[in-house]
Amino acid sequence: MFKRTCQCLPAFVLLVLFAGGAVAADKTPIRLATTTSTENSGLLEYLLPDFEKSSGYKVHVIAVGTGKAIRMAADGDVDVILVHAPPAEMKFMGTGAGTDRRPVMHNDFVIVGPPGDPAGIRGLQDAATALQRIAAAKAPFVSRGDDSGTDKKEKALWKDAAIKPSGQWYREAGQGMGKVLQMASEMGAYTLTDRGTWLAYQARTDLNILTEGDQRLFNPYHIIAVNPAKYPDTNFKGAEALTDWITGEHAQVRIADFRKQNQQLFHPDALQMVKKASASVAK
């Protein structure tokens, strides 16, 4: 009976079914390498279903440190990256392996630590001074130690503080931000974290934000497509679709609306450009 029903299907129905299958086949999954902060904070779980539903693409998220994400892109192993280490990003762009780098959003870094604050950094705005006090007190400090954007920022701050941290008080975890926050809480230690992941994990730790507000703690995120001129097999069409979407008005408003503990985790950086472009077209 089933075979007969199939044989009797009108030719135009078969054509539509075939065409639909061809369209689906063209939607090669997008390989996105991104930071653990976008994953740990819950942002991607919140954002990407909208993109997948509207575009037909599936996004395979690989959450690693920024350094590893950039290396994967440099090897042509992913299609697009969402990262937060501008100096490393520009170096990557200079190799010709990346193209169409666009701002997406920002938050900031903060130094968190135990409620007792043995190093006495509570209320400081100068991050370098805070690190100097931590080192002087030999208070426990847990570093990402994974070449992530956060790790790169931390090392730059130690350099600003004119200190090369070492000794038993300084622990390199080689882990993502969420695990480092949990380790620091268990050890009564300090650490540097992006505010988004901190807010997502705040209820799971007894750490406090102790130092914030330094301009050096600004934390911008950019999306970069892998250059198809260098890697022809990359899914550049999918990468551009994701780039256009996440820097478009709908996604930017969604980023602004994303909250944990009733606090905004990320601030959209492309929204104003979208609005200016729309106003220009309207004129």
Q: Which pLDDT score, from 0 to 100, does residue 27 have?
A: 86
**Are 175 and 245 part of one and the same domain?**
no
**Are 160 and 190 part of one and the same domain?**
yes
**Are 207 and 138 part of one and the same domain?**
yes
Q: Which pLDDT score, from 0 to 100, does residue 4 have?
A: 36
Low-confidence ranges of the chain (pLDDT < 50): 1-25, 277-283
**Are 93 and 225 part of one and the same domain?**
yes
Query: Which residues face 33 on adjacent strands?
Result: 62, 81
**Are 15 and 103 part of one and the same domain?**
yes
Give the CA dihedral 253, 255, 257, 263, nearest 10 degrees.
-150
**Are 80 and 173 part of one and the same domain?**
no
Q: Which pLDDT score, from 0 to 100, does residue 223 have?
A: 98
CATH of the domain at 165: 3.40.190.10
**Are 6 and 91 part of one and the same domain?**
yes
- Decide which of 217, 238, 253 is a domain's last residue: 217
pTM: 0.83
**Are 91 and 230 part of one and the same domain?**
yes
167-210 pLDDT per residue, tens: 999 999 999 999 999 999 999 999 999 998 999 899 999 999 99
**Are 42 and 19 part of one and the same domain?**
yes
Q: How far apart are CA 28 and CA 100, in angstroms?
A: 20
Q: Which pLDDT score, from 0 to 100, does residue 10 have?
A: 46
Q: Which pLDDT score, from 0 to 100, does residue 150 have?
A: 94
**Are 100 and 171 part of one and the same domain?**
no
Number of independent structural domains in the chain: 2
- Decide which of 185, 200, 217 is a domain's last residue: 217
**Are 135 and 41 part of one and the same domain?**
no
Query: 42 is in which domain, residue-wise?
Result: 2-107+220-282
| Residue 270 dihedral angles phi and psi, to the nearest 5° | -100, -10
**Are 228 and 93 part of one and the same domain?**
yes
Q: Which pLDDT score, from 0 to 100, does residue 271 have?
A: 83
